[in-house]
């Protein structure tokens, strides 16, 4: 990533908007904003070699669904560069490999930290899980509120839901139903 270009771009944006860049509040904004975009909002773009530590499943393991719910999603939409945020549910049925549960959260975070559309974010997470673990099946559901909808256009803060299903999550109705039911549960702190 080119920090100088990002800083110049933000400066141009503010100049174009007619903001007084000499005022106390705006003087350091191009620098501060460039740092936030590079180090935080888009840090997933700078981290090229993300891979997963996996573990073999034991001989007596009877594979069942591994699910992590209520994973925070904080991202930026590709079309307006405005935030969208919500929650993801990520699940898989192991075949020969497992990963640590916290890694499911880590995958969501990695793919969230870049500008994109929610549909692709959802697919990217499911594809990554499939590639890294070769599970019997995998499923991802993302529910998010888009500020580009809430602050402009229709000014409506509806929740958009996207899903990506692989393997048995697609082909077996009971697996899909179990996953969908889990993805629709309330988070404990909202009960
Ligand atoms: Zn948008």
pLDDT tens readout for residues 154-173: 777 789 999 999 999 999 99
pLDDT at residue 119 in the model? 98
Q: What are phi and psi of 126, to 5 degrees?
A: -65, -40
191 pLDDT more than 60 = no
Copy the structure tokens of residue 12: 């141009």
pLDDT recorded at residue 60: 78
Q: Summarize the confidence of residues 87-102 as an average pLDDT.
A: 93
**Residue 157's pLDDT is what?**
76
Q: For residue range 5-56, what is the model confidence (pLDDT) as tens digits?
A: 999 999 999 999 999 999 999 999 999 999 999 999 999 998 777 788 899 9
Q: What are the tens digits of pLDDT across the range 97-146?
A: 999 888 999 999 999 999 999 999 999 999 999 999 999 999 999 999 99
Cα dist from 37 to 4, 65, 71, 84, 151, whole Å = 12, 36, 21, 15, 20
- What residue ranges do the domains of the chain occupy? 3-41, 54-190
Sequence-distant (≥ 6) Cβ neighbours of residue 33 within 8 angstroms = 7, 10
Look at residue 86 in the predicted model and tell me its pLDDT: 96
Q: How far is the CA of 44 from the centre of ligand 1 (A)?
A: 19
With a CB cutoff of 8 Å and minimum separation 6, the contacts of 1 are 38, 42, 45, 46
pTM (2 d.p.): 0.91
Strands 97-99 and 115-116: unpaired
Which residues are near ligand 1, the ion (C-beta closer than 5 Å)? 77, 79-80, 148
Does domain 54-190 fall under CATH 3.30.1130.10? My reply is: yes
pLDDT of residue 36: 97
> Residue 131 has what pLDDT?
94
CA–centroid distance, 121 to ligand 1, in Å, is 14
User: How much is the pLDDT for 62?
Assistant: 76
Which ranges in the chain belong to alpha helices (H)? 3-17, 29-36, 43-46, 101-112, 118-133, 147-150, 168-171, 173-183
Q: What angle do CA 34, 124, 3 make, to 5 degrees?
A: 15
Query: What's the CA-to-centroid distance between 184 and ligand 1, angstroms?
Result: 25
Query: Band of the pLDDT at 189, cuts 50, 70, 90?
Result: low
- pLDDT greater than 90 at residue 187: no
- Which H or E run contains 145? strand 137-146
C-alpha 150 – ligand 1 centre gap (Å) = 10
Pairing of the two strands 159-167 and 137-146: antiparallel
Q: Write out the DSSP string of 32-74.
A: HHHHHIIIIITHHHH-TT----EEEPPTT-----EEEEEEEEE
- Predicted confidence at residue 133, as pLDDT, reads 94
| Predicted confidence band of residue 190 (pLDDT cuts 50, 70, 90) | low
């Amino acid at each position: 990533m080119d920090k100088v270009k990002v800083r110049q771009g933000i400066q141009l944006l503010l100049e174009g908007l007619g903001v007084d860049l000499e005022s106390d509040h705006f003087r350091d904004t191009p620098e501060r904003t460039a740092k936030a975009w590079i180090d935080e909002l888009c840090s997933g773009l700078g981290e090229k070699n993300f891979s997963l530590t996996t573990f073999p499943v034991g001989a007596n393991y009877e594979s069942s669904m591994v699910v992590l719910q209520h994973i925070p999603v904080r991202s930026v939409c590709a079309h307006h560069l405005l935030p969208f945020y919500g929650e993801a549910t990520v699940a898989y049925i192991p075949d020969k490999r497992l990963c640590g549960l916290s890694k499911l959260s880590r995958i969501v975070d990695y793919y969230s930290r870049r500008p994109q559309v929610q549909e692709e974010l959802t697919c990217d997470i499911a594809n990554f899980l499939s590639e890294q673990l070769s599970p019997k099946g995998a499923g991802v559901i993302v529910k998010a509120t888009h500020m580009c909808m809430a602050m402009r256009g229709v000014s409506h803060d509806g929740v958009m839901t996207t899903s990506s299903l692989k393997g048995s999550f697609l082909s077996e109705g009971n697996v899909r139903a179990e996953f969908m039911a889990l993805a629709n549960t309330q988070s404990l702190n909202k009960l």
